[in-house]
Structure formats: C-alpha cells, structure tokens
C-alpha cells in the first residue's frame, strides 16, 4: 500500500486495520510512514526497505514470513511494485510459498492516463526512458508503431529533452504532461507533442514527479505504414519472377503509386544502388 502524503485522511479503513494487525511494516522511508502512523495512532514496528536496501534486509523479511509473521510493504507514494524495488521481495516471497495480497494505493500512471483524455482501451507503460538521448530515441523508435497509448515516467530536468525527442520520432500526436499526480499540487497540461515541447522549452523543467502520456499513432501515419508494408509485399512477390524494372512497372500500375517511389523501394529491397 502507499503512504498518502497529500492528505493523511485519504486511506481506507481496511488499510488501517491491515497495518495495525501486521507484525512489522517495511517502509520505503520510515520517517514518511511515521507521519501516517502518528496521525492514526498506529504502533506497529517499522523497518526500511527501499532501492538501496542490502539483500540481507530482504532475506530478513523473508525469514519473518517463513515464521508466520505478517509483513506490510508500504511505499512513500503511488502503488508499490510499479517502478519500485518491491517486486524482488514479492518474487521471492511467492517462490517460498508465502501468501501475498495487495491494497492498491493511488497510481500516478493510471491517474494521468484517465485525465489525459487519450484512449484507455489499450495502453503501454514504459516507466522511465533511458536518460541519454541516443538510447532514448532508439527506444521511442521501437515504440512508434505500437497501437496503444504510451505512458512514461520522466525526471523533471529531462522533460524538455524527452519531449523534443518524442516530437521528432512520434510526430504530431496528442499528449499530456502530468505533474504530482495523486498528490496535493497535481497539475496536467494537454496538447500535441510539439506544443508541449515548446512550452517546457520556454518555461523550463517543472517541479515534482512527472508522467508523460502520448496518444497512439495518428490514423494518417498508420495508413502510411500499412501502405508501405503492402508495397513491399507486392514488390517481393513480383521480383520473384520479373526483372527489377518490370516488377516496378507492374506494382506501380497495381497500386497507382508514383513509379519513382516504387523504384526506390524496390532498390531498397534488393540492396541495389540507384544508378
């Protein structure tokens, strides 16, 4: 479960009963969880479990579970295990036969998706893209044809550069930048990728945690990709029994595409150079 930082009243009675009944609470930050416990008068012992915890801490928690103790895993914000080290603990707990359940807390990626106004029927959560430009652009290229709304976490200081790469590679898609989702000062800005890039290039990096939501490929781009795939299939078939120029003439006549465009694609397929 997540420690609700924005409003200490936003927690279910079930979550409070669970925390009170546990033998120990594993916290991302014990000081943050202490605020929650003090507010509700909870006395359960706390231990730290976070990104930098030694494997020995995880082993100690698993030993507690093997003795029949009840352990709650609490994150500072958002839903535990989403871009969070808790998944290693859950993996090993499941492997040793421990009972695992969840009381989901606020989820920034889902909140941003819902408020973005973009399609929610199919989405892909990437998490943080690579911090370096070349690797980030390579990742974006690999996702560019995915027929789904894309969701990213991003560092505020890298937001302008990431939006620049997204605008170049993903094009004029509708998108949204969400800040501090599920917290006290949540904010969401909608627009196209180029418009959002221009805004943050001028305004500078925002404060707080950021989620970027990008709409699926525009219909025109999808149609162009489909036409390209169809053209390559027709050319590959024609080239099996025709010479290059004959195959180009036949496919150009079938598709109505300019002969020059078909010829260039045929040269690309055969690996030949334009003379």
pTM of the model: 0.69
CATH number reported for the structural domain that contains residue 17 in this entry? 3.40.1010.10
- Indicate whether 175 pLDDT > 50: yes
127 and 211 fall within a common domain: yes
Q: Tell me: the pLDDT tens digits for 10-29?
A: 678 898 999 999 999 998 88
- Inter-CA distances, 182 with 16, 24, 109, 113, Å: 19, 26, 10, 12
b/e map of 77-88 (b: 16 or more CB within 10 Å)? bbbbbbebbbee
Q: Is residue 137 part of a domain?
A: yes
Q: What is the pLDDT of residue 87?
A: 82
Length of the chain: 275
DSSP 174: E
CATH number reported for the structural domain that contains residue 139 in this entry? 3.30.950.10
- Which residue in 187, 237, 191 sits closest to 214, CA to CA? 191
User: For residue 22, which phi and psi values (nearest 5 degrees)?
Assistant: -75, 155
What is the side-by-side strand order in the sheet with 149-154? 123-127, 149-154, 210-214, 174-179, 187-192
67 and 114 fall within a common domain: no
Contact yes or no for 49/86 (Cβ under 8 A)? yes
Q: Is residue 59 part of a domain?
A: yes
- Inter-CA distances, 246 with 19, 166, 170, 185, 235, Å: 75, 40, 36, 65, 10
Domain membership of residue 131 as a residue range: 108-217
17 and 69 fall within a common domain: yes
Q: Tell me: the pLDDT tens digits for 116-158?
A: 999 999 999 999 999 999 999 999 999 998 999 999 999 999 9
Q: How many domains does the chain have?
A: 3
Q: Tell me: the pLDDT tens digits for 222-257?
A: 455 456 667 888 888 888 888 888 888 888 877 777
206 and 237 fall within a common domain: no
Q: Is residue 101 part of a domain?
A: no
Paired residues of 182 in beta bridges: none
Contact yes or no for 273/263 (Cβ under 8 A)? no
Q: Is residue 243 part of a domain?
A: yes
Q: Is residue 117 part of a domain?
A: yes
Q: Is residue 119 part of a domain?
A: yes
Q: Is residue 6 part of a domain?
A: no
């Amino acid at each position: 479960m997540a420690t609700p930082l924005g409003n200490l009243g936003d927690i279910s009675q079930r979550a409070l009963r669970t925390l009170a009944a546990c033998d120990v609470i594993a916290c991302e930050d014990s000081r943050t969880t202490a605020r929650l416990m003090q507010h509700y008068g909870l006395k359960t012992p706390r231990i730290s479990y976070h990104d930098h915890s030694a494997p020995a801490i995880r082993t100690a928690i698993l030993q507690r579970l093997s003795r029949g103790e009840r352990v709650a895993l609490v994150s500072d914000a958002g839903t535990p295990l989403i871009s969070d080290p808790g998944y290693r603990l859950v993996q090993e707990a499941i492997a040793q036969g421990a009972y695992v359940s969840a009381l989901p807390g606020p989820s920034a990626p889902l909140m941003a998706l819902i408020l973005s106004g973009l399609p929610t029927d199919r989405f892909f959560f990437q998490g943080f893209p690579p911090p370096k430009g070349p690797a980030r652009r390579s990742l974006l290229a690999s996702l560019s044809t995915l027929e789904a709304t894309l969701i990213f976490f991003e560092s505020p200081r890298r937001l302008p550069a990431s939006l620049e790469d997204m605008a170049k590679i993903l094009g004029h898609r509708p998108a949204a930048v969400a800040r501090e989702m599920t917290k006290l000062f949540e904010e969401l800005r909608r627009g196209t990728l180029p418009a959002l890039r221009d805004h943050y290039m001028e305004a500078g990096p925002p404060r707080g945690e950021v989620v970027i939501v990008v709409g699926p490929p525009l219909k025109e781009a999808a149609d162009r990709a489909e036409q390209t795939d169809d053209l390559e299939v027709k050319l590959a078939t024609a080239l099996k029994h025709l010479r290059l120029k004959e195959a180009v003439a036949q496919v150009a006549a079938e598709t109505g595409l300019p002969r020059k465009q078909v010829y260039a694609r045929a040269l690309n397929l055969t690996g030949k150079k334009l003379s």
